[in-house]
Structure 1
Amino acid sequence: MRRVRSLRVQVMLTVALAVTLLWGLSAGIAWWQVRHEIDELFDTQQMQFARQLLAADLHDFDDDSARLPQGRELLPKSLPKARRGSLEDDALSFAVWSEDGEPLFADGGKHRLPPPDGRYGFYDARLDGEPWRVLYLALPDGHRTAVVGQALEFRDEVASEVLAAQLLPWLVALPLLLLAVWLTLSRRLSPLGRLAGQLRARRLDDATPLQATLPSEVQPMLDAINALTGRMADTLTRERRFTADAAHELRTPLAALKVQAEVAALPLPDADRARALSQLDAGIDRATRLVNQLLALTRLDPLSGPADAQAVDWARVAAQVKTDAAPFAAARGVCLTVSGDAAHALPLTGDETLLALMLRNLADNAVRYSQAEGGEVELVLAPDAVSVLDNGPGIAPELLPRIRERFFRPAGQTETGSGLGLSIVERVAQLHGLRLLLENRAEGGLAARIVRV
């Protein structure tokens, strides 16, 4: 079986990946915004500086002073470091050109700005192999042109520092965030470990609900486990009771079969031997019927609904029931009929095989307990119910509450049976959202009706 990765590890990896992706996306967007603002700021500064150069009186400068030394060199060396500032002398360069293309004034930088040569406005150029942003601004009369350049590397450094100042706290907070997620998950998942311990120590027939304080997302699972354990305990209890009852019920017919077999083996006259063999055959039939009904209940008990559900054709079901029950009815001299409009009988979606089993058990009981030689059993199909009516003795009112119990048979009963037929009927009805109603008829006999719950 493939090993499932820890939920904590999965969540941690997901959070780390999500934060990293968001951090990278935020960094890209922030870089674009910061760089845009920095370009706007420094372009404005270049424009202001160029205007100041054009407004300056350059007549006081001779040829020797036309190039200024670096700004750092103009400050007295005696000044403390804090007052000398942090300068990037090579990041900015400027010059003033005459209309004849002669340099009138320039800074003392190592980067020599190219002459205007008819250029105006901002340009991206390369000076000594490095990318620069250069502005050419001329006086209205064209006598002088100021050129101000700035290294793009300087702008990148400023943007990087601003971006790092914004995003570095997120990078530092990531381990703390992961630690908080880990501790939270460990705390919230710890009840699951205790719940697993309760399950390991639990008996199969223990239907007591499990108790644990779980997150709301996990609570439905605990409710489902409690429901499942309850059903398992009920099933186990039912199976134990069923096994005990079945063993008890099978002991009597098997003992009778043994006695009848021993009698048939004795040296008896032919008539006595034939009677013993007939009783043995009837005993085998009773045991077979009991085993078949036990198997039917065993198959029905675990079901939660019809396995092969479809629109029920009551005419087909009734015909099948009549065909199956007809030999038994004929042998007892009972008239078995079907009446009602099958096309409009009790609309239902279900398993026709199970419904036929249900009605066959009702018909079998009705035939068994109807008047011998002249009895009548009627299968009635109606819109609100499917009924089986007989003209037998009915059921004593005090026995009606118990007649549905498994293996229950009234005292003094002369007809053979197992006491499981009505249990099968009720179980099939239950699977289809139906219920069994039993009532004595005023004219005599019993009415067994299948109606909706």
Structure 2
Amino acid sequence: MQFRPSLQRELLAWTLGGLVVVWSAFIWFGYLTGEHEADELTDGHLASVTSLLLAQRATAFTSQPDAAALSNPSLKAHDYQHSMSVVIWDRDGRVLARTGEAPLPDFGLDDGFQTVALGPKQVPWRMFVRWNDGERERRVAVLVPIEERDALAEDIAEQVATPGLWLLPVVALVLVLAVRRGLRPLNQLSEQVRSLEVGQALQLKVPPHEEFQTMVKAIETLSNRYTSALQRERDLANEFAHELRTPLASLQLHVELLKTAPPDAMPALLQRLDQDAQRSAAVIRDLLALARASRTQLAEDAASFNLAELVRQVAADYGDKAYQARHELSVCAPDTVMLRGYSSLLEMALRNLIENSLAHTPPGTLIEVLVGTEPVSIEVRDTARPGAQEGAAHEIMGLGLGHQVVQKVAAIHGAGFAKTACPERAATGHRMGPLRDIAS
């Protein structure tokens, strides 16, 4: 089974990945902040004890030969209680009092916070040293082991960071549920699109979210165009089957007659065969024109063009043919009539109408091509001259499909196709209009 990317999985991966990175950074900075604040807390404790001792009277301090006894574990009442050591000197450097396990520091150390290594093993201690105010009669040093301070800092940092580690899975689970819930409309729309069948009418339940409107509109447009194309294909197949049945049957009949016909009947049969072949060619040409109209509407973009100039060019192409058939062909159009649409389809429809007039009207007929502006329209009008012979018209070669082509082109441009008449001039014609601009 081929693995396919999933928008939901990708979105969850990026969201959870970003969450882990940001959350880890917060936990790390929280850990560092916890350590820093624990160090600050220890230094503040040292300074507080020093200030408390300096506030006592000088006679309150006596030397304790067994100073380590004051740090008995039984005196510890809190987890964060430090095992502090205290040294008090007089102005001459004599030790007035001393408690705790710390080795005796040098009297000449600078005042303030500092880290010193004491004893034979050079164990690091955090120390705060200060003179009393005024006469500088006493000097107090308060010490705490660096190991104990770091242990306290680590413990506080862990207490700060641990809730973040516990909350990370909870927040991740909430994000997963939120993403799945947020993508539910997209999943539902995907299921609807997946369940569509060929030729089925589109019935999508559009989500109310603004982001889906463009996508749903595109899906509906694509589905409608596909359904229309499928219907046109079926109609075209039916037209081919229906319209070609008669000329092909006639061709087959005359071919069979040729096999047994006497020599004097050959010319008439050959003439009928030629007419049937021309009729079949005309039918195929019109059917292909219908197919081209459908394909152009689906595959090409509409463009702006000068309709009046197009009409004049098409009419000029039929000048020689009209002259040979003893017809008069004229154009009545303004200089410019701009239209947005398919110029190739309108040219095909106009040629169809002109060829229809040249083939179906007697010699001497005036064929006028009229271009209207308000509204935009095209009309091909036939005006019979007095004395024209009706029987002189050319024989109809098509089966009416030409008008279906024109009607299709007119419908693409939002126009109708109808027959017109002008009794006072004995004129008849066909009109496409009003032609409307096709949107982009």
Any gaps of 5 or more consecutive residues in structure 2?
385-393
- 2:244 maps to 250
2:164 — aligned with what? 167
- 1:365 maps to which of 340, 356, 359: 356
Q: Number of aligned residue pairs: give it.
A: 417
User: What residue is the counterpart of 1:374 in the other structure?
Assistant: 365
For 1:332, the equivalent position in structure 2 comes to 325
* C-alpha displacement of 1:122: 3.5
The change in CA–CA distance for 1:352 and 1:20 in structure 2 (over 3 A counts) is same
Residue 22 in structure 1 maps to residue 5 in structure 2 = no
Please tell me whether residue 385 in structure 1 is matched to residue 376 in structure 2.
yes
- Name the structure 2 match of 1:13: 13
Which residue pairs with 2:288 in the alignment?
295
CA distance in 2, matches of 1:132, 1:435: 98
How much has 1:387 moved relative to structure 2?
1.7
For residues 351 and 172 of structure 1, do their structure 2 counterparts lie closer, same or farther at Cα, with a shift above 3 Å needed? closer
Q: Which residue in 2 is equivalent to 1:399?
A: none
Supply the distance in 2 between the matched residues of 1:4 and 1:214 (Cα, whole angstroms): 28
Match 2:404 to one of 423, 434, 452: 423
* Cα distance in 2 for residues equivalent to 1:452 and 1:100: 115
What does residue 145 of structure 1 align with?
A: 139
Q: How does 1:385-424 map to 2 (within 5 A)?
A: 385-391=376-382, 415-424=396-405
Shift of 1:287: 1.7
Identity %: 24
CA RMSD of aligned residues (A): 4.2
Shift of 1:49: 1.8
CA distance in 1, matches of 2:211, 2:142: 65
Deviation of the 1:50 alpha carbon: 1.8
- Correspondence 1:108 to 2:91: no
Q: Secondary structure at the match of 1:380?
A: strand
C-alpha distance in 2 between matches for 1:198 and 1:392: 58
Greater mean deviation of Cα atoms: 290-299 or 8-17: 8-17
Deviations 1:313-363, CA, capped at 9 Å, x for gaps:
446523442244345434432222233233x21x23344323322322232
The one of 87, 101, 117 equivalent to 1:95 is 87
Corresponding residue SS for 1:209:
coil
The more displaced of 19-28 and 40-49 is: 40-49
Match of 1:417, SS state, is: coil
Distance 2:4 2:314 in 1: 53
- Match status 1:136 vs 2:129: yes
Q: Which residue of 1 aligns with 2:388?
A: none
| Contact kept in structure 2, 1:116 and 1:136, CA below 8 Å | no
Counterpart in the other structure of 1:355: 346
Q: Quick one: structure 1 residues 5 and 105, their matched pair in 2 at CA, closer, same or farther if it must change by over 3 Å? A: farther
The structure 2 residue matched to 1:449, chosen from 418, 432, 437, is: 432
Deviation by residue 1:390-428 (Cα, 9 ceiling, x = unmatched): 1258xxxxxxxxxxxxxxxxxxx9633232333333433
Where 1:69 maps in the other structure, the secondary structure is helix
CA shift in 2, pair 1:21/1:73, >3 Å: closer
Mapping 1:132-281, distance limit 5 Å: 134-140=127-133, 141-150=135-144, 151=146, 152-174=149-171, 176-177=173-174, 180=177, 195=192, 198-199=195-196, 202=197, 204-207=198-201, 209=203, 231-261=225-255, 266-269=261-264, 273-281=266-274
- Counterpart among 311, 323, 342 of residue 318 in structure 1: 311
Does structure 1 retain, via aligned residues, the 8 Å contact 2:102–2:143?
A: no
- Return 5+ residue gaps in structure 1 as ranges: 76-82, 394-412
Q: SS where residue 371 of structure 2 aligns?
A: strand
Name the SS for the 1:296 alignment partner. Answer: helix
> In 2, Cα distance between the equivalents of 1:308 and 1:235?
16
Contact 1:371–1:391 (CA under 8 A) maintained in structure 2 = no
Instruction: State TM-score, norm by structure 1.
Output: 0.73
Superposition deviation, residue 160 in structure 1: 1.4
Q: Take 2:106 and 2:435, find their aligned partners in 1: how far apart are those partners?
A: 99
Contact map agreement 1:125 1:132 (CA 8 A) in 2: yes
Distance 1:116 1:68 in 2: 23
The Cα of 1:247 is off from its aligned counterpart by 0.9
Checking the alignment, whether the CA contact within 8 Å between 1:93 and 1:113 is kept in structure 2 is: no
